[in-house]
Amino acid sequence: MIKRFWLIGIFGLLIGCHGQKQVKKHNPYFSLTDTTELRLPNSVWKEVLSDGVYTITRERSTEAPYNNEFCDFKAAGNYHCAACGNLLFSSVNKYDSGTGWPSFWQPIQPNRLLFRKDFSEKMERVEVLCKRCGGHLGHLFYDGPAPTRQRYCMNSLALKFMKDSVK
């Protein structure tokens, strides 16, 4: 009888722990001031990023539209790379594109981003990456509002919002 309760207890413990989110180490590469380019293997990023941020930024995934943190978010502040802290976008340049992802008509500074042709999904697109860490942020389209006519369609999980001075 005692053996049965012991087995049930161990089984319950295993089931209970299985669904818990894995705690990651502190990310020593996240900085709001350091602009030094980072060239780290994905194995290092996997240790310090949450599963969602890792999947988007390192595996070039895309989150679901409309069901993400910054789609309808309207607070004033700045958006940084969720992996490394690089300053990317201001809320002043955010707009509702109707696509279900946070969209911006221009970055804080173009030199904070990298651009690469992307032929996935059976179409040609422009992939937008963080210049500091090389993390995938989203895509650039040329159907945005004036004056740039650009739409930086970003993944919320690739961004970290900071309610700091708007630039």
Q: Please report, for the domain that includes residue 104, its CATH number.
A: 2.170.150.20
Which residue's structure tokens are 């509002």? 145
Domain that holds residue 120: 24-162
Q: Is the peptide bond before 110 cis (omega within 30 degrees of 0)?
A: no
Cβ contact 117:126 at 8 Å: yes
Residue 13 falls inside a structural domain: no
Residue 7 falls inside a structural domain: no
The predicted model gives 39-51 an average pLDDT of 96
Residue-level pLDDT at 126: 97
Residue-level pLDDT at 4: 42
**Does residue 102 have a pLDDT over 80?**
yes
Sorting pLDDT into bands at 50, 70 and 90, what band is 3?
A: very low
pLDDT digits 0-9 by tens, 134-145: 999 999 999 999
Residue 4 falls inside a structural domain: no
Residue 15 falls inside a structural domain: no
∠ CA 80-81-85 to the nearest 5 degrees? 70
pLDDT digits 0-9 by tens, 110-138: 999 999 999 988 889 999 999 999 999 99
The predicted model gives 70-96 an average pLDDT of 96
pLDDT digits 0-9 by tens, 24-39: 778 999 999 999 999 9
Residue-level pLDDT at 23: 54
Residue 33 falls inside a structural domain: yes
Residue 124 falls inside a structural domain: yes
C-alpha span between 60 and 130 (Å, rounded): 12
The predicted model gives 63-79 an average pLDDT of 95
Residues contacting 130, CB < 8 A, separation 6+: 57, 81, 83, 84, 86, 88, 112, 113, 114, 137, 158
**Does residue 15 have a pLDDT over 60?**
no
Residues in the chain: 167
Q: Which pairing describes strands 113-118 and 125-130: parallel, antiparallel, or unpaired? A: antiparallel
Higher pLDDT, 17 or 147: 147
Q: Which residues are catalytic?
A: 153
Residue 105 falls inside a structural domain: yes
Residue 83 falls inside a structural domain: yes
C-alpha span between 164 and 79 (Å, rounded): 10
- Give the number of domains in the chain: 1
pTM > 0.85: yes or no: no
C-alpha gyration radius of the chain: 19
